[in-house]
Amino acid sequence: MQDILIVGAGVSGLTAGYHLSQKGMRVTVIEKEQSVGGLARSFYYGDFVFDVGPHRFHTDDADVLRFIKMILGKDVRVIPRESGVWFAGRYHDWPLRFSTVFKLPPAMSLRTARDLISKRARVGISFEDYILNMYGKTLYEEFFEIYTRKFLKHDPATIHSDWAKAGIDRAVIDRRVKMNTLFGVIKRAILPIPVATEFIYPARGGIDIFSKRMAEEIEKNGGRVLLGSSVSGIRAGKKEIEEVTCDTGEAFRPDLLIWTAPINILCQLMDIEEPALKYLSALLYNVMIEGEPPLGYQWCYYGQEEIVFNRISIPLNFSPATAPEGKTGINLEVTCMEGDRVWNDPGKLLDKVKEDMVKVGLVHGPGAILDVRVEKIINVYPIYELDYLSPVTRILNHLSYMHNILLLGRTGTFWYNNMDHSIRAGMDCAEDVIRSERGGLRAMYKRHDFFNS
Ligand X SMILES: Cc1cc2nc3c(=O)[nH]c(=O)nc-3n(C[C@H](O)[C@H](O)[C@H](O)COP(=O)(O)OP(=O)(O)OC[C@H]3O[C@@H](n4cnc5c(N)ncnc54)[C@H](O)[C@@H]3O)c2cc1C
Determine if 230 is a binding residue for ligand X (CB under 6 A): yes
Q: Are 331 and 375 in contact (CB under 8 A)?
A: no
| Interface with ligand X, residue 411, by CB under 6 A | yes
Among 5, 6, 11, 323, binds ligand X (CB under 6 A): 11
Q: Is 391 in the site for ligand X (CB under 6 A)?
A: no
Q: Write out the E strands in 223-365.
A: 224-226, 231-236, 241-246, 251-252, 256-259, 279-290, 299-302, 311-313, 327-336
d(CA 437, CA 382): 32
From 86-94, 260-268, 321-329, 392-400, give the range in contact with ligand X by CB under 6 A: 260-268
Q: Does 405 interact with ligand X (rule: CB under 6 A)?
A: no
Element (H, E) at 77: strand 76-80
> Binding segment for ligand X among 108-116, 159-167, 417-425, 439-447 (CB under 6 A)?
417-425
Nearer to ligand X, 104 or 330 (CB): 330
Q: Is 331 in the site for ligand X (CB under 6 A)?
A: no
> Within 10 A of 303 (CB to CB), how many other CB atoms are there?
20
Bridge partners of 85, per DSSP, are 92, 301
Q: Which stretch, 61-69, 97-105, 122-130, 409-417, contacts ligand X (CB under 6 A)?
A: 409-417
Residue 52 near ligand X by CB under 6 A? yes
Q: Which stretch binds ligand X (CB under 6 A): 27-35, 72-80, 188-196, 361-369?
A: 27-35
List Cα–Cα distances, 438 to 18, 100, 253, 400, 431, in angstroms.
20, 58, 20, 21, 12
Which of 12/161 has CB closer to ligand X? 12
Measure the CA–CA gap between 345 and 348, rounded to whole angstroms.
6
328 lies in the site for ligand X, by CB under 6 A: no
Mapped onto helix, strand or coil, the DSSP state of residue 117 is: helix
- d(CA 46, CA 402) in angstroms, rounded, equals 47
Q: Is 56 a residue that touches ligand X (CB under 6 A)?
A: yes
Q: Does 8 bind ligand X (CB under 6 A)?
A: yes
Q: Which of 12, 100, 304, 404 binds ligand X (CB under 6 A)?
A: 12
Q: How far is the CB of 37 from ligand X (least distance, A)?
A: 7
- The residue among 121, 123, 169, 120 whose CA lies nearest residue 144 is 169
CB of 270 to ligand X, least distance (A): 13
Among 4, 5, 6, 9, binds ligand X (CB under 6 A): 9
Q: Where are the alpha helices (DSSP H) in 74-200?
A: 98-103, 106-117, 127-135, 137-139, 145-152, 161-172, 182-190
53 binds ligand X (CB under 6 A): yes
Binder among 368, 420, 424, 428 for ligand X (CB under 6 A): 420
Q: Which of 384, 294, 282 is nearest to 334 (CA)?
A: 282
Q: Which of 4, 16, 31, 85 binds ligand X (CB under 6 A)?
A: 31
400 bridge partner residues: none
Q: Provide the binding-site residues for ligand X, judged by CB under 6 A.
A: 7-13, 30-33, 38-40, 52-57, 230-231, 260-261, 265, 380, 409-411, 417-420, 422
